[in-house]
Amino acid sequence: MPWIVICLFALCACKSGSSPSGEGETPAVAKPTAPAVEATPPTEQAPVEKSGAAEPARSTSTETSAAVPDVDPNAPADVAGPPARAKRSKSGLAWTVLKKGKGKGHPGKFDTVTMNYTGWTPDGRMFDSSQRHGQAMVVPLNHVIYGMAEAMQMMVPGEKRRLWIPGNLAYGEEKDGVDALPQQPLGMLVFDVDLVSFKKAPELPAAPKDVGEIPADAKKSPSGIAWRVLEAGTGTDHPLDTSVVDIDYTAWTSSGDVVESSVLRGGVDTVGVKRLLPGWAEGMKLMVEGERRLFWIPEKLAFQGQPYRPEGMIVVDVTLVQIRRNLHQIR
């Protein structure tokens, strides 16, 4: 699997071997965590797992690394830094247009893009390229690094750009004592990227009318989560911390922006309860099979100020489809 993808999102989707949390392979260019055509890094990309990649993936010295690649003789002449003519966004992303596109429309933050790319470090080492894999990369845009996601949402099909992506929008800044895999170098990265096409994401549910604040009729727990039962369940058992559950859900910020949704993956995700945000995990353990609830989760039980993640309260509309008694418990 190409290293360009960095699944910034949360749920550990056990079904079909998929993993929006990115706990398996952590490919290179995301969030996801992480990622928008907005001037700031996309923050509505990865909400569920409390221990997954909360920012662009960083490697540790315990990971097995491949040999450091040699300098690429075909690296761009301006690989060391953006030229004066490059355009810049408020986030720090810089780019030049290498070829104008003839397509129409721009991909949205949840759309799936088909793209060709090559990535270099500022000293001209090529660390990844779709050419190595023999075909264009097909990936949901919220599963690539923030700088790539921001740039792609400004492009049209057929367009090619050169991007200079600062470390905070890629795999992180270089720091003493922090090692990196050759496929995920720290610091600024340079990409030539060609948007071949994109496929629109499914239409996502609209935010509830009371997404901005907890309504007076909602029930509350001592911890601070609140909820309303939207549909009664038919089961009798409640999930445990170690349970694996099938859930149908959509999560929003308090301003009504979608954070994530199982609709993007066919309607149902399979996840270990203890991998959910703390407030969400607490709420799930109150539910029974077939039940649907709307939860208001305060920041202290949501992303808790983690960088690159949504700030403030998270609102989740979730149905507990079933407790997966045929799966091993999550340790």
Q: Give the end of a domain, one of 141, 170, 200.
A: 200
Residues 138 and 23 in one domain: yes
pLDDT number for residue 136:
94
Residue 330, in any domain of the structure: no
Residue 208, in any domain of the structure: no
Residues 169 and 235 in one domain: no
Residues 93 and 126 in one domain: yes
Residues 125 and 28 in one domain: yes
pLDDT number for residue 269:
94
For residue 181, CA distances in Å to 25, 57, 328 come to 13, 10, 32
Residue 329, in any domain of the structure: no
pLDDT number for residue 330:
53
Residues 196 and 304 in one domain: no
Residue 303, in any domain of the structure: yes
Structural domains counted in the chain: 2
Residue 213, in any domain of the structure: no
pLDDT number for residue 280:
97
Give dist(CA 27, CA 128) in Å, integer: 10
Q: Kindly report the pTM of this predicted structure.
A: 0.70
Alpha helices in 84-202 (DSSP H): 146-152
For residue 110, CA distances in Å to 83, 141, 302 come to 31, 6, 21
Nearest to 188 by CA among 88, 115, 318, 291: 88
Residue 214, in any domain of the structure: no
pLDDT number for residue 329:
58
CB contact at 8 A, 110 and 32: no
Walk along the chain (331 residues) and give the pLDDT tens digit of each residue: 343 333 333 333 333 333 323 333 333 444 333 222 222 333 333 334 443 323 333 333 334 445 567 888 989 999 999 999 999 999 999 999 999 999 889 999 999 999 999 999 999 999 999 988 889 999 999 889 999 999 999 999 999 999 999 999 999 888 766 677 777 899 999 999 999 999 999 999 999 999 999 999 999 999 999 999 999 999 999 999 999 999 999 999 999 999 999 999 888 999 999 999 999 999 999 999 999 999 999 999 999 988 778 899 999 999 999 999 877 655 4
Residue 331, in any domain of the structure: no
pLDDT number for residue 182:
72
Q: Give the end of a domain, one of 169, 200, 231.
A: 200
pLDDT number for residue 67:
57
Residues 190 and 271 in one domain: no
Residues 39 and 70 in one domain: yes
Residue 310 lies in domain:
219-323
Residues 182 and 257 in one domain: no
Write the CATH number for 93: 3.10.50.40
pLDDT number for residue 107:
97
pLDDT number for residue 241:
92
Strands (E), 280-327: 292-297, 314-323
Cβ-proximal residues to 95 (8 Å cutoff; 6+ apart), any chain:
82, 86, 87, 88, 151, 161, 162, 163, 164
Residues 189 and 246 in one domain: no
What's the longest Cα–Cα distance across the chain? 66
Residues 225 and 196 in one domain: no
Residues 246 and 109 in one domain: no
Residue 285, in any domain of the structure: yes
Q: Give the end of a domain, one of 171, 200, 229.
A: 200
pLDDT number for residue 68:
61
Residues 150 and 235 in one domain: no
